[in-house]
Structure 1
Amino acid sequence: MDNSAVRRTQSRDDGTPIVDRLLPGHLDVGPGYSTVRPRGTEDWLLIHTIGGAGRFASKDSRHAPLTPHSVVTFAPNTPQDYATHAETGTWDLLWVHLRPRPEWLTLLDWPTVAPGIRRLDLTPVISQRVATALEAAVGHHRAGLQHATAFAINAVEEALLWCSRQNPRQGASDPQVMAVVEYVSARLPEPHTVASLARIAGLSPSHFAHTFRRHTGMPVMSFVQRLRIDAARELLELTDLTVAQVATRVGYDDPLYFSRRFRSDTGTSPTQFRSR
């Protein structure tokens, strides 16, 4: 059974999950439920409320309600503080931790309601279709059957596509940011810098860095590193290349430095990841 890309590999010391690509779940909780992560997580977190109500808190929005048919995302490293809403006492939610594909960035470009937090309020019909897709992702994750990874990724993508039907910003994603994402994805071994990528976008380095973070939720070089580590996972999983060869192909000249970065991002060494 191949479920390595949708399972939780382990947790950090503060309990935040380390995931490969997707970690979906379904919770139906009571009044005592709450989660607080002051530093957020290194991936995106999506929460879709399907019953009851929740609430989230941020520096700008104290106890903002998460009502049925609402869907919110927390960008990487955004503080997370969410819980069952006190007035309802119950909260039924679907959630997924995800490391989005580059082409998903336009699908996640929703209206911002607080720093690092984006929200859509869906119609009941669209909300049901999003819920059905996310429930399918949960089912594939739990079953762990052959091709579970592909099925789960496709299910989450379907949910994001349905969300885009109600996104007032649809079509407003920055084309310069997407051009850079596509450029880096096709040239991972090259020595990218903020300045070199700003030239691709035709912007000053400071303007580009600000624009990129606003649209992706991540600093430029953190995003480049994410693409490189994701590519390294695939090469380790699907090829017989040595760790040093993998490091070179994804843009790391020093295999030892690559191993340290890989362990920092995944919680395991390249050799252990491959043997798993």
Structure 2
Amino acid sequence: MLSALLDHGHDVRSLSRRGAVPTLGVLAEAAGYEQRRNELYSWDGMKRGSEPFLVIQHTLLGEGRLDFGGARHRLRVGQTMLVTMPHAHRYWLERGGHWEYFWFILSGREALRMAREVLAVAGPVLQPPQDGAAQLAGACHALLTRAMTPAQASVLGYQALAILHDTAFSKAKPQGALPPEMTRVLSHVEANLGGDLRVDALAQVAGLSRAHFVRRFAAEMGVPPSDHVFARRMDRVERLLTASEMKAAEIARATGFADANYLAKAFRRHRGMSPMEFRALRDEAV
């Protein structure tokens, strides 16, 4: 499947306009196979419009760079980058460098939900197994070469996300394999997103000292407890903005924020827009 893409050669194809088929949870908007060599190539995740979408980009030759939330990554051969927009990141080609890759642009609520799950577990750089990378290449080749309906393209977009989802979670420790004190804390967090989830309170739930709890949690989950709580609260906020008509103040109380202003500041750091702007995108899509 990779050889078919290589034989086809460099190409870019637009497939569907964002929002054109709002009932599709995964909408394949575009795909491409490109080579950048010794040229200016840089994308800022906060300067690509306000409507949410995601990019999957797999490196075939050379190397790209990614600054994601302040962490620097080298995008090497065999690695796949996953980023959502808008978000505070930038990916680029170093001066004098060479980067050959294929990519997808996807949108839709299910696409973004799956992307957030992958990012929460594995971050923005993944290394799918050889057969997974070949399937990604095959999906890209099909999107570039075949005549298909938006729904048929959606299946290929979902396949690409499913491969990354499998890659992320194949290395993640299942919750049932966690020590009982960590499982207890995770359950407590999910049941009390509107309550007191300070580190000291979570340490008490775990039955550990604060310092020991922070070390154990980070070792088991890959992130500090405060980051996990924030991510779970943001996920709940987005779900309430999408699936309910609750006011910002009500959502703030339900997700542990002091008031609507504090929620708005936290949400803007997370998403690059206000909660109401995020909800407006939902309303435009229906």
Q: TM-score, normalised by structure 1?
A: 0.56
Higher helix share: 2
- For the residues of structure 1 that align with 2:259 and 2:277, how far apart are their CA atoms? 19
**Which of these residues, 105, 114, 117, is aligned with residue 101 of structure 1?**
117
What does residue 226 of structure 1 align with? 231
- For the residues of structure 2 that align with 1:205 and 1:214, how far apart are their CA atoms? 14
- For the residues of structure 1 that align with 2:183 and 2:167, how far apart are their CA atoms? 21
SS in 1 for 2:132: helix
Q: CA deviation at 1:29?
A: 3.1
SS in 2 for 1:185: helix
SS in 2 for 1:233: helix
What does residue 192 of structure 2 align with? 187
Q: Which runs of 5+ in 2 are unaligned?
A: 1-18, 45-53, 106-111, 282-286
Q: CA deviation at 1:132?
A: 5.3
- For the residues of structure 2 that align with 1:178 and 1:33, how far apart are their CA atoms? 48
Coordinate RMSD, CA, aligned? 5.1
State, as a whole percentage, how many aligned pairs show the same letter: 19
Does 2:209 match 1:200?
no
What does residue 127 of structure 1 align with? 133
Residues 148-206 of structure 1: per-residue CA shift (max 9 Å, x gap):
999967752442215656x5x76697545555334312321111011222233343322
Residues 92-142 of structure 1: per-residue CA shift (max 9 Å, x gap):
14489986339963xx3xxxxxxx89764623x232235557x59x99xxx
1:120-269 equivalence runs, <5 A: 120=127, 122-123=129-130, 125-131=131-137, 135=140, 155-162=160-167, 167=171, 174-175=178-179, 177=182, 179-214=184-219, 216-269=221-274
Does 2:101 match 1:92?
yes
**Which of these residues, 60, 63, 67, is aligned with residue 51 of structure 1?**
60
Q: Which runs of 5+ in 1 are unaligned?
A: 8-22, 38-44, 109-115
Moved more, 151-160 or 258-267: 151-160
Across the two proteins, how many residue pairs are aligned to each other?
Answer: 228
Contact 2:59 2:80 in 1 (8 A): no
Q: CA deviation at 1:236?
A: 2.0
Larger Rg: 2
Shift in CA distance, 36/214, structure 1 to aligned 2, threshold 3 Å: farther
Shift in CA distance, 231/24, structure 1 to aligned 2, threshold 3 Å: farther
Shift in CA distance, 83/131, structure 1 to aligned 2, threshold 3 Å: same
SS in 2 for 1:101: helix
- For the residues of structure 2 that align with 1:120 and 1:25, how far apart are their CA atoms? 20
Shift in CA distance, 275/30, structure 1 to aligned 2, threshold 3 Å: closer
Residues 208-236 of structure 1: per-residue CA shift (max 9 Å, x gap):
32343455554322331222222122212
Shift in CA distance, 196/129, structure 1 to aligned 2, threshold 3 Å: farther
Residues 30-85 of structure 1: per-residue CA shift (max 9 Å, x gap):
12366699xxxxxxx99763522325699xxx997722x344789xx999887479
1:127 maps to a residue whose letter is A
- For the residues of structure 1 that align with 2:118 and 2:186, how far apart are their CA atoms? 7
- For the residues of structure 2 that align with 1:84 and 1:92, how far apart are their CA atoms? 15
2:133 maps to a residue whose letter is S
Contact 1:56 1:63 in 2 (8 A): yes
